Amino acid sequence: MVGLSEGEKHFIRGGIAQDIRTDGRRRLQFRALSVETGVIPQANGSARVRLGATEIIASVKAELGKPSILHPDKGKVSIFVDCSPTAEPTFEGRGSEELSAELSVALQRCLLGGKSGAGAAIDLSSLIVVEGKVCWDLYIDGLVVSSDGNLLDALATAIKVALSDTGLPKVNVSLSAASDEEPEVDVSDEEFLQFDTSSVPVIITLTKVGRHYIVDATSEEESQMSSAVSVSVNRNGQICGLTKRGGAGLDPSVIFDMISVARHASQQFIALVDSQIAAAEADE
């Protein structure tokens, strides 16, 4: 990330205070969003999302596996993020490990709910094939191809679109097996069950610069932040997860204010993402 001079930083702060940022956006305005589905034909579902100059490719792969003993009625989902060095030369080698880990954990927290699987955005019990024996393991992978700020929001959007593109093959279970044997499963090549993503949330990150908050910060604006709050909101306006980054302490009233601003912004963003998904599906 290139550094900024004092004069430039001053200009950016002034822009945010006056509600006209360096590219002319208002504080609560997102950059141009473009969405494509089915970019990785080998995966069960995939998407490429561009938010300004940030570009993310997300893929969802489903494999049959065994549910864990603690939760025999739930499937498993894991989320991993990788930052490609094509986005930033500093991501080469192990340079991106910390950032990838931070993004993966933040996404897991927002989308997968608590340890017991309660409150997960993806209904884990819908992934069960044979209770206690066979379930679907979903592997969700996000790849950052190009980076210009606001990676978390873009990743969450890419995952949401990829899930909407995902089709799980229909599985026919032969009932002849005894209760302690492994049942035979026949994975259909023809029929697919489309994933229900109506409850998958989006993440809105609010970056606080000076006294004001902005959404969808570019990497230049992110370098100016005193703190950032990422709020995960679903279609019903419910909060699904919350992360605060940055060292500066925030007054609790400010945090509540930021949450309500995020909720408000999220409704427009969800509508935008849904319309883009519909357009992408119509294109296919």
Residues forming the site for other proteins (CB under 8 A): 2-8, 10-11, 13-15, 17-18, 20-26, 29, 32, 34, 40-43, 46, 50, 53, 55, 57, 59, 61, 63, 80, 82, 84-89, 92-94, 139, 141, 143, 145-148
> What is the distance between the alpha carbons of residues 13 and 105, in angstroms, rounded to a whole number?
30
Distances (CA, A) of 195 to 109, 168, 176: 20, 7, 29
Measuring CA to CA, which residue among 252, 161, 271, 269 is closest to residue 215?
269
Contact present, 258 and 245 (Cβ < 8 Å): no
**Token pair 């006294």 is at which residue?**
211
The minimum distance between CB 133 and other proteins, in angstroms, equals: 21
119 vs 110: CA distance, rounded Å? 10
Nearer to other proteins, 43 or 228 (CB): 43
The CA distance from 97 to 154, in Å, is 18
Report in angstroms how near the CB of residue 102 gets to other proteins at its nearest.
17
CB nearer to other proteins: give 1 or 238.
1
Q: For residues 41 and 247, which CB has a smaller minimum distance to other proteins in the complex?
A: 41
CB of 159 to other proteins, least distance (A): 12
Supply 36's token pair: 């494509």
Shorter beta-carbon distance to other proteins: residue 41 or 114: 41
Our CB check for other proteins shows the closer of 80 and 235 to be: 80
